[in-house]
């Protein structure tokens, strides 16, 4: 997941172009909690001459990380945001896994050494 992260500078006339950027996670239990750097999630950024790139990196994500991720950027001009749904894994099923099922359909049969009917 990429997008601008943090940028600062000044425009003509000494305007302050500093901006605040945050990744926000929307899931039933979080209700828009800001994402900070942890052992398993890392918001990174790279500042270039006239723009900033960002990336949200996950280490071993699971179904607990599924949800809507929104990047919110703001400065004196206003607020911009973009969202993406991250689906990493399905929730594990309860109980034992059912045995694998192999569906076969018999279309013809023959005795050893004979040809099967072509019908």
Instruction: Record the pTM.
Output: 0.53
Mean pLDDT along residues 66-74: 81
Altogether, the residues listed in the chain come to a count of 119
Q: What pLDDT, on the 0 to 100 scale, is given for residue 6?
A: 43
CA distances, 31 to each of 25, 42, 68, 118 (Å) = 7, 20, 10, 63
For CA atoms 32, 34, 38, 44, give the dihedral sign: positive
The residue to which tokens 């945050």 are assigned: 22
| Domains of the chain, CATH where assigned | 2-86 (2.60.40.10)
In a 13 Å sphere around the CA of 19, the CA atoms on its Cβ side amount to 24
Q: Which segment of 26-35, 95-104, 105-114 scores lowest on mean pLDDT?
A: 105-114
Spatial distance between the Cα atoms of 26 and 57, rounded to a whole number of angstroms: 17
* Cα of 73 vs its chain's centroid, Å: 19
Q: In what order do the strands lie in the sheet with 41-47?
A: 2-3, 52-58, 41-47
């Amino acid at each position: 997941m990429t997008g601008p992260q943090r940028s600062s500078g000044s425009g003509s006339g000494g305007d302050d172009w500093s901006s605040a950027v945050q990744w926000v996670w929307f899931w039933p239990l979080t209700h828009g909690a800001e994402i900070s750097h942890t052992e398993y999630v890392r918001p990174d950024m790279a500042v270039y001459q006239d723009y900033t790139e960002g990336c949200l990196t996950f280490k071993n994500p699971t179904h607990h990380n599924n949800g809507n991720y929104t990047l919110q950027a703001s400065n004196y001009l206003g607020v911009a945001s973009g969202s993406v749904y991250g689906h990493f894994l399905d929730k594990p099923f309860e109980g034992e896994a059912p045995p694998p099922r192999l569906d076969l359909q018999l279309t013809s049969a023959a005795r050893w050494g004979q040809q099967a009917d072509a019908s």
